[in-house]
């Protein structure tokens, strides 16, 4: 299909409403890392179906995601994942009002697979197409569905503006979320992301991939004061993070240890490492709350999102911090923290509502900061 044809089809449906009273249905596709996922979400915040095909078993033996293998696995899975998503919701592609897919940032081979699938469906059906920024998917999903730290009140959702800790395998940022497409970067990591730090420390301990959930569960039986990990930048003003010093400390501790490591040693190590990450997050968020006030915003909700938002200690500490500062804490339910199609479908709906649909061919982007939206 020619480029003009793509533009014409998408322009034809720009107006933004389904034309009747039923909610709009969005098919969302995520393929930026190691999950091939699709979901159908409606504009009344219902998830009609959601399929997540995790490639973790395929990457585990390499200790991390291998981009070429991921892209190939996405190609093999995408048709089946989309078909099952439609079947499970009892819908066909003709019932879909909006198609949305991750167009970056991420591993470009995988992003291309999901983006081309979405473009194909949108072109074949004449449906509006939304190019979703993966980080925006994480950032907006608490507006689809949010829970408290202990997982209760799953039907709640967050209103703008909110202060967001976005912590995933690839990113670690504090953002002031004022509206769809309105993200102010308050702080970010100067080196590793929080998820990367969890994954690398787990790898050093020989615990497997992905490391975050394993370290989290080991930490629950460990002593957080057993090892003195540093708290980088916590004595400095500002809201930026640095995790490389924590990683280096981990390596030094392990060089001194006698092998093999006992279970008790590993549990204490994980608890102490995790406590340092939690302290850094709390310290930086305290600064960010002051920063938000300087920006003339008074967000009432403190939100955590991204894969690391699954961490029990981080959720607990952030809930306490919110209470101390008279804010409400919210997080997506566990199943919507790590990469998933529902967050992309919801971001598709939010963008479509404000007219942010694709009107000309776009190139998916491996790097795409939220502040460039
Ligand atoms: O958001 P996500 O699925 O992928 C990216 O967009 O990067 O995040 C994956 C990251 C991994 O680094 C994983 O170890 C981390 O989230 N993670 C956790 C937990 N569950 C997943 N980190 C700490 N504690 C957890 N319970
Ligand atoms: Zn992600």
Question: What's the gap in Å between 146 CA and the centre of ligand 2?
Answer: 17
Atom of ligand 1 minimally distant from the CA of 211: 14
Q: Is 137 in the pocket of ligand 1 (CB under 6 A)?
A: no
Q: Is 106 in the pocket of ligand 1 (CB under 6 A)?
A: no
Confidence label for 49 from pLDDT (cuts 50, 70 and 90):
very high
Is the pLDDT score of 86 beyond 90?
Answer: yes
Pairing mode of beta strands 129-133, 182-188: unpaired
Atom of ligand 1 minimally distant from the CA of 199: 14
Backbone angles phi, psi at 334, to 5 degrees: -50, -40
- Residue 64 buriedness (CB in 10 A; 0-12 / 13-18 / 19+): middle
Query: What is the distance between the alpha carbons of residues 271 and 299, in angstroms, rounded to a whole number?
Result: 31
Q: Is 332 in the pocket of ligand 1 (CB under 6 A)?
A: no
Mean pLDDT of 276-289: 98
User: Are the C-beta atoms of 201 and 250 separated by less than 8 Å?
Assistant: yes
CATH number of 146-331: 3.30.420.40
Report the candidate in 324, 313, 358, 311 with the shortest Cα–Cα distance to residue 131: 358
CA dihedral 295, 167, 33, 247 (to 10 degrees): 130
> Could you say which ligand is closest to the alpha carbon of residue 309?
1
Mean pLDDT of the chain: 92
User: Are the C-beta atoms of 281 and 194 separated by less than 8 Å?
Assistant: yes
Domain chopping of the chain, boundaries: 3-141+338-372, 146-331
Q: Is 169 in the pocket of ligand 1 (CB under 6 A)?
A: yes
Residue 8: CB atoms within 10 A of its CB come to: 12
Strand residues in the chain grouped as ranges (E): 25-30, 35-42, 47-54, 98-104, 129-133, 162-167, 172-179, 182-188, 301-305, 328-330
Query: What is the distance between the alpha carbons of residues 174 and 189, in angstroms, rounded to a whole number?
Result: 9
Question: What's the gap in Å between 35 CA and the centre of ligand 2?
Answer: 9
For 3-141+338-372, give the CATH class: alpha beta
Atom of ligand 1 minimally distant from the CA of 337: 1
Given this chain, do its domains 3-141+338-372 and 146-331 carry the same CATH topology? yes
Confidence (pLDDT) at 156? 83
Threshold 0.85, pTM exceeds: yes
């Amino acid at each position: 299909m020619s480029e003009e044809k793509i533009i014409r089809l998408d322009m034809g449906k720009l107006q933004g409403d389904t034309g009747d009273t039923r909610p709009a249905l969005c098919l969302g596709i995520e393929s930026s890392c190691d999950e091939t996922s699709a979901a159908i979400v409606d504009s009344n915040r219902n998830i009609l179906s959601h399929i997540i095909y995790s490639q973790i078993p395929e990457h585990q033996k390499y200790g991390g995601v291998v981009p070429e293998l991921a892209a190939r696995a996405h190609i093999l899975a995408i048709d089946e994942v989309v078909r099952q998503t439609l079947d499970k919701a009892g819908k066909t592609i003709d019932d879909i009002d909006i198609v949305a897919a991750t167009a970056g940032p991420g591993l470009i081979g995988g992003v291309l697979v999901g983006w081309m699938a979405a473009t194909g469906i949108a072109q074949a059906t004449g449906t509006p197409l939304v190019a979703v920024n993966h980080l925006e998917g994480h950032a907006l999903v608490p507006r689809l569905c949010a829970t408290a730290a202990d997982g209760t009140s799953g039907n709640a959702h967050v209103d703008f503006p909110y202060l967001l800790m976005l912590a995933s395998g690839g990113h670690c940022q504090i953002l002031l979320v004022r509206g769809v497409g309105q993200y102010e970067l308050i702080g970010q990591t100067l080196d590793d992301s929080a998820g990367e730090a969890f994954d690398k420390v787990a790898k050093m301990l020989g615990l497997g991939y992905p490391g975050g959930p394993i370290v989290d569960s080991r930490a629950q039986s460990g002593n957080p004061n057993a090892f003195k990990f540093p708290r980088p930048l916590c004595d400095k003003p500002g809201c930026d993070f640095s995790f490389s010093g924590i990683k280096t400390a981990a390596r030094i501790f392990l060089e001194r240890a006698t092998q093999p490591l006992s279970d008790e040693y590993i549990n204490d190590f994980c608890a102490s490492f995790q406590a340092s990450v939690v302290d850094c997050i709390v310290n930086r968020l305290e600064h960010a709350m002051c920063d938000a006030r300087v920006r003339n915003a008074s967000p009432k909700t403190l939100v955590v999102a991204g894969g690391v938002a699954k961490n029990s200690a981080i959720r607990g500490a952030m809930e306490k911090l919110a209470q101390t500062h008279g804010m409400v804490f919210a997080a997506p339910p566990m199943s919507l923290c790590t990469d998933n199609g529902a967050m992309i479908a919801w971001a598709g709906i939010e963008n479509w509502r404000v007219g942010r649909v694709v009107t000309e061919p776009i190139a998916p982007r491996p790097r795409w900061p939220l502040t460039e939206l």
